[in-house]
Amino acid sequence: MKRSNEEVQARRNQLLERIKELKITDAKTLSQEFAVSEMTIRRDCTVLSEMNQIKISFGKIEIQNAEMYDQDNADSMAHIKARLAKEAATFISDHDTVFINTSSTAIQSLSYTTDKTINVLTNNTKIIHMNHHPQSTIILSGGEIRYPKEALFGDIAMESFSNARSDVTIIGCSGLDLKTGISTSVIHEARINTKMIENSGKLILVADYRKIGKSSNFTIGNITDIDVLITDIYSDKKVLDEIEKLGVQIIQLPF
């Protein structure tokens, strides 16, 4: 039986932790420890290397310096999120009404729309500190502020999205799974995200490889609600193929 995406990801996470412990090792050693073939280990390590998490050289597998590893990993994720955000921005046109949720990637897409006059409704207060076209209209949903995300939630926020319709909605999520659909880990934001999806024109979901095939606590929408999924080259291809069969346009960005 072929292993599920979750099992593969779990093994890669365990591999990474073991490599960090060993400092330097090889495929044969890891193969014996994890009871999988050396080919499987090499394939997993190739993915981890492409994600800038480990180094492979002359058959040796090693972790980077801990401080360098943490910084490189953060830089790598920041780069991925920026690329996803920039691609999502291409779906926004002049005079569109746009919904944005509390996702850091979704809100970043607005950084690439400063040349467009748009109307934005969001419960993400980070928009206050962003540049925008002087003729654009920026509307905060209102509601209670929840930290540390600085997200607006509650009945007032819900009412704002209940009485509006978007041309384009850009959202992020905690998980995207074939069985549980689009999900979030934050109960306070779940109802608002669901309402955004219900009242969307075109729905653009931005989700990096860590979210694909993962299920989080609260379902906010179905896969069939998504018009365009923007993700990265590290996402599980088998899961993406099944999502595409459900009619979702998938944009998988190389890095």
Kindly list the structural domains of the chain, giving each domain's residue range(s) and its CATH number in brackets, ordered by start. Answer: 5-64 (1.10.10.10), 79-253 (3.40.50.1360)
Query: pLDDT per position in the chain (255 positions), as tens?
Result: 344 677 888 899 899 989 988 888 999 999 999 999 999 999 999 888 877 788 888 788 988 665 555 555 666 788 899 999 999 999 999 999 999 999 999 999 999 999 999 999 999 999 999 999 999 999 999 999 988 888 999 999 999 999 999 999 999 999 999 999 999 999 999 999 999 999 999 999 999 998 999 999 999 999 999 999 999 988 888 999 999 999 999 999 986
* Three-state DSSP class for residue 73: helix
Paired strand residues for 181: 177
Closest CA to 114 of 127, 99, 101: 127
| Confidence (pLDDT) at 3 | 46
Paired strand residues for 249: 228
| Confidence (pLDDT) at 174 | 96
| Confidence (pLDDT) at 141 | 97
Question: Does the predicted TM-score (pTM) go above 0.85?
Answer: no
| Residues recorded for the chain | 255
| Confidence (pLDDT) at 50 | 79
| Confidence (pLDDT) at 254 | 81
Residues near 117 by beta carbon (within 8 Å), at least 6 away in sequence:
94, 95, 133, 135, 136
